[in-house]
Chains A and B, each alone.
Chain A
Amino acid sequence: MIAGSKLEKVIRSGQFAVTGELGPPKSADLTMLKQHGEALRNHVEAFNITDNQTAIVRTSSIACGAVLVQMGLEPIIQITVRDRNRIGIQGDVLGAVALGIKNILCLSGDHQKFGNEQQAKGVYDIDSMQLLDGLRKLRDEGRFIGGDKVGAPVSYYLGAVANPFADPFEYRVDRLEKKIAAGASFIQTQCIFDLARFKKWMELVRERGLHKKVAIMGGVTPIKSLGAARYMKNNVSGIIIPDEIITRLQGAKKKKEEGLKIAIETIQQLKEIEGVAGVHVMAIAWEEVVPEIVERAGLYPRPKL
């Protein structure tokens, strides 16, 4: 055991893990965030807390994470390299640990061009790989990135993201391998709609035995409407939405129910793929539907530890 988080325990027990995601608000009023956390309490092991997602200013992920800890819920703090340099990030990581946060997810973050402070200076002092590697060394070797000694040992469960739908496709497995070497214990993938491509990626992952070295959690997002699907297909880079998903939603009378069904079927298929250790359900702005998805996908009740 590294940090002894609930997420780590479920993964280590070999049971299929489920994580959710909560997006901090553009205000300091965390009422909704707390409500969603409460509503999902028994349906997920832990909650990703996004870090100024899509480069839009929001309450900080660590602050929201600390609030979840107070509620007896488990956060996975997302840390991007867009807004802070290595000094700020490492300081915040120590702060997060002090506040009882046990899971950290390293990523680069959406470019500031997509957000509400488009004239901001992007920091990018380090990249997501270096962040992962640096936080691993901070924990395992007790050294900051610059080499100075950390005052007292810290512990956290480290994760990273993978996007099997980005290009070049062949590189995506290399990149996963590199993230494992850098220190990832768990991986959450980009939202999966193109299952064929995901399966192909997993085949390559298994060929190298990488699924035994890291817990791969498939990303699942329920689509609320045909418009949302079209928008993601055409405007969100790094996501592939196959035409059959669009056709299916087009043909459906109840779009929301169809969107849910697609998500549930995706989870059921992911459960059958060798090497998939869990799912990460991202239902941003549709959090209330997560318990239903988890239950209908046959993932409820969650393991008791």
Chain B
Amino acid sequence: MIIAERKPLQQIFEMLKSYRRIGILGCGTCVTVCMAGGQKEAEELAAALTIHRRREKEPVEVEAFTIERQCEYEYIEQVKDRLAGYEVILSLGCGVGVQTLVERMPELRVLPGVNTQSMGYPLEQGVWVERCLGCGDCVLHVTLGICPITRCAKSILNGPCGGSSGGKCEIDPEVDCAWHLIHERMEKMGRLSELQAIQPPKDWSVSHHGGPRTVVREEVKLDRGQ
């Protein structure tokens, strides 16, 4: 899932300063699960904004509502008219949600209410960890299910480096050394010798470094009747 964190309230208040009729749009998928931008968070933010503006003597009309996914036209379609009724939309969806809204409704002013962090999962209640960078050329088969591109601070393919100490990374004693974990797993599975192969430089052209990526699959395309 995509993990996000709400922007600091002060930044949100500042962004919305000049608007009087505001829609706060939650997203019912990833950001709901990571408790950053679902209906509950949208309502809380609406309340905080209302109180703030009352104090500032700049009253505001705020409504909070949520669609299942901001990253799909179909769901945006269902609330198109309602969205058009606000001066501005504060989207609590991830960066994809904000952009999908703008692309579907170019006349809309949409501001981001969250900082999109990463792709990962909830390790425990209240803790979300990053696990994928979307590099476009998965190496998890080589590294036995532990991603060094994401979890190693230097994204090295031939590790662990000389900064690995007691299973932790040199950048932070709280951070696991991904390559230590890989080494451990290789050892358990009797595959340590595989680490002796020099992994060649990564092809970053299939990652974001090659420019924005588009996946096209002709066989599943639909004729939308346009």
Contacts and interface: CB of A to CB of B under 8 A. Distances in A.
Interface stretch (A67-75, A119-127, A285-293): A119-127
Interface stretch (B1-9, B20-28, B160-168): B160-168
Nearest to B157: A127
A122 B160 CA distance: 18
Given A125-B204, A127-B159, A237 B165 contact: yes
Given A113-B171, A125-B204, A130 B166 contact: no
A86 B201 contact: yes
B45 to A, nearest CB: 28
A130 B157 contact: yes
Contacts of A145: 201
Nearest to B195: A174
Given A167-B166, A168-B180, A111 B204 contact: no
A231 interface: no
* Chain B contact surface mostly: loop
Contact of B201 (A125, A167, A237): A125
Interface in B127-184: 153-167, 170-171, 177, 180, 183-184
A176 B121 CA distance: 36
Given A111-B154, A127-B158, A167 B198 contact: no
B179 to A, nearest CB: 9
Interface residues of B, number: 30
Given A166-B160, A168-B180, A181 B198 contact: yes
Contact of B158 (A111, A122, A178): A178
B117 interface: no
A275 interface: no
B201 A168 contact: no
A120 to B, nearest CB: 13
Contacts of A82: 154
A108 B156 contact: yes
A289 B88 CA distance: 67
B18 interface: no
B161 to A, nearest CB: 5
B212 interface: no
Contacts of A237: 163, 165, 170
B200 interface: yes
B214 interface: no
Interface string A137-172: 000000001000000000000000111001110010
Nearest to A164: B162
A238 B180 contact: no
A45 B49 CA distance: 68
Nearest to A129: B158
Contacts of A168: 160, 164, 180, 183-184
A241 interface: no
A108 B161 contact: yes
A238 B186 CA distance: 23
13 contacts: A111-B163, A130-B200, A145-B201, A163-B163, A166-B161, A167-B160, A167-B165, A167-B166, A167-B180, A168-B164, A171-B183, A177-B196, A182-B198
Given A82-B154, A166-B165, 15 more contacts: A122-B153, A124-B156, A126-B201, A127-B154, A127-B161, A128-B161, A162-B162, A166-B161, A167-B180, A168-B160, A168-B183, A171-B160, A171-B195, A182-B198, A237-B170
Interface of A: 81-82, 86, 108, 110-111, 113, 122, 124-130, 133-134, 145, 161-163, 166-168, 171, 174, 177-178, 181-182, 190, 237-238
5 tightest A-B contacts by CB? Answer: A163-B162, A129-B158, A127-B156, A237-B170, A124-B154
